[in-house]
Amino acid sequence: MHINVRNSDEKINLDHLLIEQVELAIHSGIHTGGKADLAAYPSDFEELRALLEYAQRQNLPITVLGGGTNSLISDKGIEGLTIITSHLTRRHVQGQMFCVRSGLLLDRAIDLAIEDGLGGLELLGGLPGTVGGAIAGNSGAHGIHIADLLYYVDYMTLDGKLHRKQIHREDFSYRNTPFSNRNDIIIYEAGFRLFPITQTNEARKRKDEVKAKRKQNGQYDNPSIGCIFKNPQGLHAGQLIDECGLKGYTIGGAKVSQRHANFIINTHKRATSGDVKELIEYVRHQVFEKHQVMLEEEIHYVGRW
């Protein structure tokens, strides 16, 4: 297992790592939310471990944020210590295994894998967020899910110990994984078993095409956190919402997207997380009234709700 280990006499300076009152709207795809009481951006294993040990000593709850592209952060902020993974970005290759730290953007990881002559993840091109966030939610697109090529996950528990989980595909289902909605583990690194590619241009083209499709259909035009609701068995949440005539429906600065009824967007950056939550409840109620289907959130609520 490759981990960064510093010289044992090198002390981690927690004063340099811990930051008080960090604005979180920039860490949310929908650009809403309050402040973290305390946040840190660890860049290696030792820093992460030192932070978790500190949180244990101080009795602080831990929250993990990747790209925040599937998270609604409370306007009242996040209590305890928020660990933002964006500096955990290293990768290496062992044969056909592409090993990557959890904070690397998935889209970037796919590019680097292709650079390293490995393919298989291209259909997830353009999917916002980090490798860790995608694993926690078993993100997917175009018929593949991140778990399909996942071989192992290294995660840290709150006592600072690193564990390796060998991945069995059957442990993962639609937006549900052994790592979902856990506040007692942090995904540190993942290994993907990929395929050797000789035609890197072809792989790059495949990836660019799916990303361009997302761009064309306006997914990146407004701040959002992707699909709000899971698709109920055999149904499409977006279609159910559309059939209620809710496209364009607005509460405060939060609006049901005109293009994707299952997306809520932040119009003119005026929305609060409270607006978004209120709109979610309204949509759920309307869909239940019309279709007798109770929609369940795909997004994660983070902080003091």
Instruction: List contacts with ligand FAD (CB under 6 A).
Output: 29, 64-71, 85, 102, 127-130, 132-134, 136-137, 139-141, 179, 186-187, 219-220, 224-226, 300
Nearer to ligand FAD, 196 or 212 (CB): 212
**Least spacing, CB of residue 14 vs ligand FAD, in Å:** 20
CB of 28 closer than 8 Å to CB of 42 = no
Is residue 278 part of the annotated active site? The answer reads no
Q: At its nearest, how many Å lie between ligand FAD and the CB of residue 181? A: 6
**CB-nearer residue toward ligand FAD: 199 or 258:** 258
Closer to ligand FAD by CB, 108 or 291: give it: 108
Which lies closer to ligand FAD via its Cβ, residue 288 or residue 301? 301
- Nearest 10 degrees: Cα torsion 62, 67, 73, 78: 30
289 catalytic per annotation:
no
Closer Cβ to ligand FAD, 173 or 199, answer by number: 173
Does residue 7 contact residue 44 with C-beta atoms inside 8 Å?
Answer: no
Q: Has 175 been annotated as catalytic?
A: yes
| Angle at which helices 200-216 and 106-115 cross, to 10° | 160
In whole angstroms, the minimum distance from the beta carbon of 155 to ligand FAD comes to: 7
Please name which of 82, 52, 89 lies closest in space to residue 68, comparing C-alpha atoms. 82
Distance of CA 181 to the CA centre of its chain: 12
Catalytic position from the list 91, 101, 175, 204:
175
What's the closest the beta carbon of residue 188 comes to ligand FAD, in angstroms?
7
Return the half-sphere exposure (C-beta side, CA atoms, 13 A cut-off) of residue 195. 11
Q: Name the active-site residue from 91, 99, 204, 227.
A: 227
Contacts 24+ apart (CB under 8 A), 288-297: 290/240, 290/243, 290/244, 291/240, 291/243, 291/244, 293/232, 293/235, 293/240, 295/229, 295/230, 295/232, 295/237, 295/240, 296/229, 296/230, 296/232, 297/228, 297/229, 297/230
How many CA atoms does the CB half-sphere of 169 hold within 13 Å? 7
The least CB distance from residue 85 to ligand FAD, in Å, is: 5
Residues labelled as active-site residues = 175, 227, 298
